[in-house]
Chain A
Amino acid sequence: MRAPFRSLWSGFGLVALLLVSSDAHAQPSAWGDNGYVSINALYGVTTETNEVSSRQDLYQETAEITARQEIGKRPVFDVTAGGRIKGRFGMGFGVSYAVADDQAAVTAAIPNPFYFDRPRTLDGSTTLERSDLMVHVQAMWLLPITDTVQLTVFGGPTWFQVKQQTIESLVIDDVFPFDTVSLVSTERERATVSAWGVNGGFDVSYFFSKNVGVQGLVRYSRGTATIGATGVDSDVTVGGLHAGAGLRIRY
């Protein structure tokens, strides 16, 4: 997927040039001498419902399994760095990382051991670990509001790497007459996938010394990744709205 990234990157470069040329009154000091680094503690404030399907050969048929998981409300660790290119315009990179064990609702159509095409419904739950690594490439526009307070607006592409536990197989409890089936446990495997998406947001920073300040950050990112589990591809939404605060250092 390199070609789309190049295309997107070229687009941001063009926007940056336009911004630089139109901002004759930018204040370089707001960026610091070279740039800045911020370390942020964020939290996912929205959730996305993701369904990951898988299959399991059972009783000479295929059990169709779906794990439905609410992803989003969890801590996100973030480091962002940026530097001025010209005037109020700069470029930066942010790296965010989130990991959590979330409860997943498991539903499955479990074949009957004696007869074809007479599946039974299984409902259960399990815990599936999910981690998201997000690398944000950001075009930044920095606006000093006062001597100590400044606003940064940013946007750009994001590369997501998702490590999602999926259900490889179910351990079930079913006995004669096999009308019902219950979930005992799940055998899980980890799928690692990546995808491109976009991000955008802003931060407001307050400097209580020349180089050190605090900031509040809001970033929304979004992408779609395809997770293949036991031969079944499922599209899941990655990213989300993250908000929090951190330390910002100019240098």
Chain B
Amino acid sequence: MRASHTGSARLGPWVFALLLTPLLADSAAAQSSDRVRRIAAQSIGELRVWDSAVDRMDRDGTLRLRQRRADAMLESRTHERFDQFYKGVRVHGGDIARQMDDGLTTSVFGGIYEGIGLEDVTPVLSSADARAAIAGLSGAELPDSFEPELVILPRDGGEFALAYQGRAFGAEGLYIYFLDARTGDLLLALDDLKTQATVGRGTGVLGDNKKVSTNRVASGYRTEDELRPPTLITFDMKGNLARTVNFLNGVVSLGVADIAADSDNTWSDPAIVDAHAYAGYVYDFLYRRFGRRGLDGSDSRVLALVHPVDRSTVRSQSNSVVGTFFLNAFYAGGGVMVFGEGLPADVVDVQRRNWNYLSGALDVFAHELGHGVTDFTSRLIYRNESGALNEAFSDIIGVAAEFYHQPAGSGALRADYLIAEDVVTPGGIRSLANPQQFGDPDHYTARYTGTQDNGGVHINATIPGHAFYLAIEGGTNRTSGLSVSGVGAANREQIERVFYRAFTEMMPANATFAVARTVTLQSAVDLYGAGSAVTRAVSEAWTAVGVN
């Protein structure tokens, strides 16, 4: 349903919106879908309106500043992110990103929900009741410190519900549960595993030598990076799935004994070596390419967990465990990443692919850390198009990190546009250059519209990912037949910066592909100018993949 936002019933208490409605009714700056008002203010008139509106909402508590950061690429720019609140309760997915240049607003993007209309936001269930309910749903043992957040949940039918939101790792995986705060009914369960892949197995080590930044202790050496600013620790879970799950649920804490250790600092476990080295590689990439200091921009910790299961037990494990802890890598929030064990050498997946340790691929590692960056920036909702953008950004970071650290080419330890090709052999699991190679869409008209995969977050990620590829390399989209003049491989940094800046500083949480097009173009114009080859390449690329 495409509801007009001109009706006063949808504006509810937002008097400011009522006043602005005539101005914005036909404007590209404000699009209405269900009850979310999408904002993409870039012209002077739109900016004037939305800048004052944001200030007003900030004053009256409708918006609350979540983050203010200096732009790492443009010295004079700052970025603010606001969460939407309704009667003091955060609205899930409602947020606005405002860019300022020396105090003057230069862009406002966002999505805010209208017509919430809940009279009473007092929950019937207590926080403890909600915790117990989530524990029951997930099958997880949750600590007393686990405190679900009271939120307003926009429903698919355009209604709103007062809900408790909590994240738990259970037998079925990592989910965000939304419980009705009055009845305790489950309203929504979002799969929050930002999975990298699901089917395959590995055959061992790639054989390359790496340096491992470690910490010397009395008993030997531990995988604690003491040379880079953030805490980078690699834990060896020693195949103990129960302990891994209990840690992810906050039931147990990992201690010194869980940190990977070696007696002589010559490390022989390839999964540990790659996990620890790549944590540093990706940190270095983000820092040197974008000026970003870690996941949150302030050197927050990164904890890598390897060997979450015993590889030899794969035949006795459930499909869920195999899919999560053997054939997968995922970002579990809070800087924690888990890298699957792969498969024994004599086991292949249904596509007859081998799976190595998931930590052995730089793009996989960077992909997962990309989810961490998203968690600290746009918080793209992991569902439908915003979820696909979430995955696409991680793919882009994965590919960009490869090209930063590895020579271009094909084969092991070479940079390309394939995802996970170093550990899922042959071929990897996705291609940004040719999404159809893996049956993924390369054009908006071919997008997946079903409910599986959280609305196709992995499947449809290749549409913006392919746009990223075309903007760099140029070429012709196989579906539309439209050609793109890319900036060329030698200038890939320009496109990387455009996408990174757009996704981390300006992208709203519930962005659609169309919003992503607008935001990346704004980023390109900001960085390189409206008439630049970069801006033209980005525009052509989105058009070629059918996003206008």
Interface set of A (CB-CB < 8 Å, partner B): 59-60, 113-116, 176-178
- B211 and A60 contacting across the interface, CB-CB below 8 Å: yes
| In-complex Cβ contact of B229 among A59, A60, A176 (8 A) | A176
| Chain A residues, CB < 8 A from B229 | 176
**Bound-complex Cα distance A116 to B229 (A):** 20
- A114 and B209 contacting across the interface, CB-CB below 8 Å: no
Q: A177-B284, A177-B287 are in contact. Are A116 and B209 (CB under 8 A)?
A: yes
| Chain B residues, CB < 8 A from A178 | 227
| Chain A residues, CB < 8 A from B287 | 177
Q: A177-B284, A177-B287 are in contact. Are A113 and B227 (CB under 8 A)?
A: yes
**Bound-complex Cα distance A59 to B214 (A):** 11
In this assembly, does B280 line the interface, its C-beta being within 8 Å of a C-beta of chain A?
yes
Interface set of B (CB-CB < 8 Å, partner A): 209-211, 213, 227-229, 277, 280-281, 284, 287-288
| Chain A residues, CB < 8 A from B280 | 114
| Chain B residues, CB < 8 A from A113 | 211, 213, 227
Q: Which of B213, B227, B277, B288 has the most CB of A within 10 A?
A: B227
- A177 and B211 contacting across the interface, CB-CB below 8 Å: no
Can you report 10 residue pairs joining A to B where beta carbons are below 8 Å apart? A59-B211, A113-B211, A114-B227, A114-B280, A114-B284, A116-B210, A176-B227, A176-B229, A177-B284, A178-B227
Closest Cβ of chain A to B294, distance in Å, is: 12
**Bound-complex Cα distance A245 to B92 (A):** 95
| Chain A residues, CB < 8 A from B211 | 59-60, 113-116
**Chain B minimum-CB-distance residue to A115:** B211
Closest Cβ of chain B to A125, distance in Å, is: 27
| Chain B residues, CB < 8 A from A176 | 227-229
**Chain A minimum-CB-distance residue to B209:** A116
Closest Cβ of chain B to A90, distance in Å, is: 66
**Chain A minimum-CB-distance residue to B293:** A176
- A114 and B288 contacting across the interface, CB-CB below 8 Å: no
Closest Cβ of chain A to B287, distance in Å, is: 6
| Chain A residues, CB < 8 A from B210 | 116
Closest Cβ of chain B to A57, distance in Å, is: 12
| Chain A residues, CB < 8 A from B288 | 177
Closest Cβ of chain A to B223, distance in Å, is: 14
Given contacts A113-B213, A177-B288, 15 further A-B contacts (CB under 8 A): A59-B211, A60-B211, A113-B211, A113-B227, A114-B211, A114-B213, A114-B227, A114-B277, A114-B281, A116-B209, A176-B228, A176-B229, A177-B284, A177-B287, A178-B227
**Bound-complex Cα distance A60 to B213 (A):** 10
Closest Cβ of chain A to B335, distance in Å, is: 18
**Bound-complex Cα distance A62 to B211 (A):** 13
Closest 5 pairs (CB-CB, A-B): A113-B227, A176-B228, A114-B211, A60-B211, A176-B229
**Chain A minimum-CB-distance residue to B210:** A116
**Bound-complex Cα distance A176 to B228 (A):** 6
Closest Cβ of chain B to A47, distance in Å, is: 41
